[in-house]
């Protein structure tokens, strides 16, 4: 019978199912010029345990700093040390978490959930190697050369591209584990095997590889092959080229070689270039031109003599490997997804009432919440002067010492989903449009946005769901939405415009219209059939109103190409919005494309 006692944490070598991530971390330990490792994996895969176990492989003096998601700017960059300031009677600065990670590792779990400003500070420190702190009239610079180790679940959103670009090694989302592997994970967690010096062995390998790294050579044609593979995959920027070379050198050093070979190039391709791919290489490779020498040798051979096949060049090997390593859907890769727009990106606003506390600012206490620690910090340098000959230990606080809490809150957005339920739309993928709308509604709910639902069919448009955060109610309305009849597109635009105006009056900062239609309008605003010219003028005028009021729009056209007269494209142009043509896509494809268009 297995014991029910809590087992000790698994070591770096004992964790199961994260071989690629483990390999990337070993390369980083050998060559810190790779800057960091970002691991994408679903919840419960052990990615966080692996990242923390990585600290045991580094020298004992190496800092390992964990960055919490709710970190304030003062704690991140540095600020005033209250205790030291009270003792000294003058402001004393202390380093933040970025500076404390200098010459070590900065670890961030749920990297994709970092506040945008925090992610920008981390990315800047990775590039510059230092952080500047300016507080209470003082200014200083702290060194901050660290390796970033980040883990995240792609189902919860993407990592900011600025961070992805500055980290050398990226481990994309792995396939789901097989049953045998899952069983092994359970066995090791219930009864972990003894380490038997595996950690010390790995530390010794890393130390030897670091010493050998200076002697490892890489050929010019191998460097050229990596650069050509990067171009073929649509990898942008020279930073990735350098990371690929550093990864190949580190791989060779770790394997005990003095020269880079094909396996090292493939590993660099897998961990550096493939995750940055934004396109597929050409299916056919241009034929290599024979050199004059090889041509003359061929002529000298006897007519019956056969020649052996020429070995593949590094370029050909890498492009063949790239074709095999690329996933069926490029959107699964981080940079391809970002190229098509950020998923789940939302703006943020600063206010004095709600959200996440980010900094303290001077102000009137009647206009916000007093930040106690920053207030004491501002008052501390003046205590000796204010006490004078007074012997009491009480703190003297003046009005100009008061600091108020400044919060960052997500900017409110109203998404108006207008779904064409007419007879022509029913023919053209009504079921998929409903499924896509529900998926987008769920995404809006996650980001605390409001959603409204309009259906238009027959003689006019109807608001099925006023601005709300109730996804379940919207889903119920969509499930029972009848179809058939005419296409009162003008009425839908008028209703959307009215909802947008009402939302602005309530203080909603941004309104977006998602219009799912085939664009074949035939009913006017007055709920009667109208001639084509009159409909065109009505739709143009209403689209102009929406555009003038700053309503961003996306038109998704699911109409078959052979039936289309470019009505959807024309409508998107009048609205000043984006046009998405997806006649044959499933609901999840429509939702993905729309989500990225809305975020751009």
Backbone φ and ψ of 418, nearest 5°: -110, 110
Decide if 381 contacts 326 (C-beta within 8 A).
Answer: no
Q: Exposed, middle or buried, 394 (CB in 10 Å: 0-12/13-18/19+)?
A: exposed
Decide if 568 contacts 517 (C-beta within 8 A).
Answer: yes
Q: Kindly state the average pLDDT of the residues 376-389.
A: 79
What is the token pair recorded at 64?
A: 């390992």
How many Å separate Cα 518 from the centre of its chain? Answer: 32
Decide if 407 contacts 352 (C-beta within 8 A).
Answer: yes
Architecture of the domain delimited by 200-281+314-339 = Orthogonal Bundle (1.10)
| Res 295: pLDDT | 39
Decide if 568 contacts 582 (C-beta within 8 A).
Answer: no
Alpha-carbon distances of 467 from 414, 435, 506, rounded to whole Å? 7, 19, 11
How many Å separate Cα 315 from the centre of its chain? Answer: 30
Q: Which residue has the higher pLDDT, 130 or 473?
A: 130
C-alpha to C-alpha distance for 350 and 352, rounded to whole angstroms: 7
Task: Name the band, by pLDDT with cuts 50, 70 and 90, for residue 583.
Answer: low
C-alpha to C-alpha distance for 148 and 104, rounded to whole angstroms: 9
**Domain residue limits, the chain:** 19-195, 200-281+314-339, 348-410, 413-599
C-alpha to C-alpha distance for 12 and 49, rounded to whole angstroms: 8
C-alpha to C-alpha distance for 466 and 436, rounded to whole angstroms: 19
Decide if 103 contacts 62 (C-beta within 8 A).
Answer: yes
What is the token pair recorded at 512?
A: 């977006």
Query: Which pTM was predicted?
Result: 0.59
Res. 3: pLDDT tops 80: no
Tell me, yes or no, if the two domains 19-195 and 200-281+314-339 fold the same way. no
Least confident of 148-152, 209-213, 367-371, 517-521: 517-521
| Strand, coil or helix: 123 | helix
What is the token pair recorded at 131?
A: 């952080």
Considering Cα of 542, then 547, then 553, then 556, what sign does the dihedral take? positive
| Res 195: pLDDT | 55
| Res 271: pLDDT | 94
Largest CA distance in the chain: 111
Alpha-carbon distances of 437 from 18, 53, 282, 433, rounded to whole Å? 36, 42, 35, 6
Q: Kindly state the average pLDDT of the residues 361-365.
A: 80
Decide if 461 contacts 492 (C-beta within 8 A).
Answer: yes
How many Å separate Cα 582 from the centre of its chain? Answer: 24
Least confident of 97-111, 456-470, 561-575: 561-575
Q: Where are the beta strands (DSSP E) in 443-550?
A: 450-457, 460-468, 510-516
Q: Which residue has the higher pLDDT, 255 or 190?
A: 255
| Res 300: pLDDT | 47
C-alpha to C-alpha distance for 579 and 558, rounded to whole angstroms: 11
Comparing CA positions, the residue from 503, 532, 521, 516 lying closest to residue 579 is 516
Topology at the third CATH level for domain 413-599: Rossmann fold (3.40.50)
Res. 489: pLDDT tops 80: yes
Res. 493: pLDDT tops 80: yes
Decide if 226 contacts 268 (C-beta within 8 A).
Answer: yes
C-alpha to C-alpha distance for 168 and 237, rounded to whole angstroms: 12
Res. 345: pLDDT tops 50: no
Topology at the third CATH level for domain 19-195: Rossmann fold (3.40.50)
| Res 582: pLDDT | 67
Q: Exposed, middle or buried, 408 (CB in 10 Å: 0-12/13-18/19+)?
A: buried
Reported as a single tens digit per residue, the pLDDT across 519-531 is 777 787 775 666 7
DSSP state of 225: H
Q: Which residue has the higher pLDDT, 431 or 51?
A: 51
Res. 188: pLDDT tops 70: no
Q: Kindly state the average pLDDT of the residues 404-425.
A: 74
| Res 471: pLDDT | 64
Reported as a single tens digit per residue, the pLDDT across 73-125 is 888 998 877 777 777 777 788 899 999 999 999 999 988 888 888 888 999 99
Backbone φ and ψ of 108, nearest 5°: -130, 115
Res. 242: pLDDT tops 90: yes
Q: Kindly state the average pLDDT of the residues 384-395.
A: 75
C-alpha to C-alpha distance for 364 and 126, rounded to whole angstroms: 37
Taken as a whole, the chain contains a residue count of 600
Res. 537: pLDDT tops 90: no
| Res 443: pLDDT | 67
Decide if 224 contacts 315 (C-beta within 8 A).
Answer: yes
Q: How many other CB atoms are there within 10 angstroms of residue 560's CB atom?
A: 13
% pLDDT > 90, the chain? 20
Bridge partners, residue 66, by sequence: 107
| Res 433: pLDDT | 60
With b meaning 16 or more CB within 10 Å and e meaning fewer, what string describes 107-126? bbbbbbbbbeebbebbbbbb
Residues catalogued as catalytic: 239
Reported as a single tens digit per residue, the pLDDT across 197-229 is 777 888 889 999 999 999 999 999 999 999 999
| Res 406: pLDDT | 77
Q: How many other CB atoms are there within 10 angstroms of residue 596's CB atom?
A: 22
Q: Break the chain down into helix, strand, coil percent, rounded to 5.
A: 45, 20, 35
Reported as a single tens digit per residue, the pLDDT across 125-147 is 998 899 988 776 678 899 999 99
């Amino acid at each position: 019978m297995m014991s029910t006692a809590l087992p000790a944490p698994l070591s770096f070598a004992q964790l199961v199912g994260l071989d690629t991530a483990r390999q990337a971390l070993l390369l980083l330990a050998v060559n810190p010029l790779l800057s960091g490792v970002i691991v994408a994996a679903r919840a419960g895969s052990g990615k966080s345990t692996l990242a923390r176990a990585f600290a045991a492989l580094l020298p004992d003096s190496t800092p390992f700093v964990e960055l919490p998601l709710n970190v304030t700017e003062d704690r991140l960059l540095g600020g005033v040390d209250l205790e030291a300031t009270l003792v000294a009677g003058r402001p004393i600065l202390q380093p933040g978490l970025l500076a404390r990670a200098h010459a070590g590792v900065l670890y961030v779990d749920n990297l994709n959930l970092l506040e945008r400003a925090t992610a920008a500070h981390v990315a800047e420190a990775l590039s510059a190697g230092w952080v500047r702190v300016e507080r209470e009239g003082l200014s200083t610079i702290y060194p901050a050369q660290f390796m970033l180790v980040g883990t995240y679940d792609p189902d919860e959103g993407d990592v900011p591209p600025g961070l992805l670009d500055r980290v050398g090694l990226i481990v994309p989302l792995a396939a789901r584990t097989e049953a045998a592997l899952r069983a092994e994970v359970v066995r090791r967690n219930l009864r972990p095997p003894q380490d038997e010096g595996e950690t010390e062995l790995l530390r010794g390998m890393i130390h030897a590889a670091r010493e050998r790294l200076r002697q490892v050579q890489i050929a010019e044609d191998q460097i050229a092959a990596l650069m050509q593979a990067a171009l073929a995959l649509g990898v942008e920027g020279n930073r990735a080229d350098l990371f690929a070379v550093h990864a190949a050198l580190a791989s060779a050093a770790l394997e005990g070689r003095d020269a880079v070979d094909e396996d090292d190039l493939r590993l660099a391709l897998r961990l550096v270039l493939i995750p940055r791919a934004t396109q597929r290489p050409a299916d056919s490779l241009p034929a290599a031109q024979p050199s004059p020498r090889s041509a003359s040798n061929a002529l000298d051979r006897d007519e019956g003599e056969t020649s052996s096949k020429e070995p593949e060049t590094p370029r050909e090997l890498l492009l063949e490997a790239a074709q095999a390593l690329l996933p069926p859907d490029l959107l699964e890769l981080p940079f391809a997804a970002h190229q098509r727009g950020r998923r789940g990106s939302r703006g943020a606003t600063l206010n004095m009432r709600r959200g996440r506390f980010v900094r303290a600012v001077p102000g009137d206490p009647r206009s916000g919440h007093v930040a106690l620690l920053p207030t004491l910090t501002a008052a501390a340098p003046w205590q000796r002067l204010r006490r004078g000959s007074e012997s009491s230990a009480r703190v003297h606080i003046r009005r100009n010492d008061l600091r108020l809490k400044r919060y960052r809150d997500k900017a409110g957005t109203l998404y108006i989903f207008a779904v064409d339920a007419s007879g022509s739309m029913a023919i053209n993928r009504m079921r998929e449009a409903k499924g896509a709308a529900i998926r987008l509604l769920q995404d809006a709910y996650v980001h605390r946005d409001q959603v409204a639902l309009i259906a238009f069919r027959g003689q006019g448009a109807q608001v099925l769901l006023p601005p709300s955060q109730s996804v379940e109610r919207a889903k119920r309305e969509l499930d029972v939405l009848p179809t058939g009849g005419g296409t009162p597109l003008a009425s839908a635009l008028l209703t959307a415009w009215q909802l947008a105006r009402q939302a602005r009056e309530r203080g909603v900062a941004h309104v977006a219209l998602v219009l799912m239609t085939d664009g074949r309008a035939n009913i006017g605003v007055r709920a009667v059939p109208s001639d084509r010219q009159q409909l065109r003028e009505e739709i143009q005028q209403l689209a102009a109103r929406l555009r003038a009021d700053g309503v961003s729009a996306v038109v998704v056209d699911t109409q078959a190409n052979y039936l289309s007269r470019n009505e959807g494209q024309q409508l998107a142009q009048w609205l000043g919005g984006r046009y998405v043509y997806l006649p044959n896509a499933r609901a999840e494809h429509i939702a993905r494309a729309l989500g990225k268009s809305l975020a751009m």
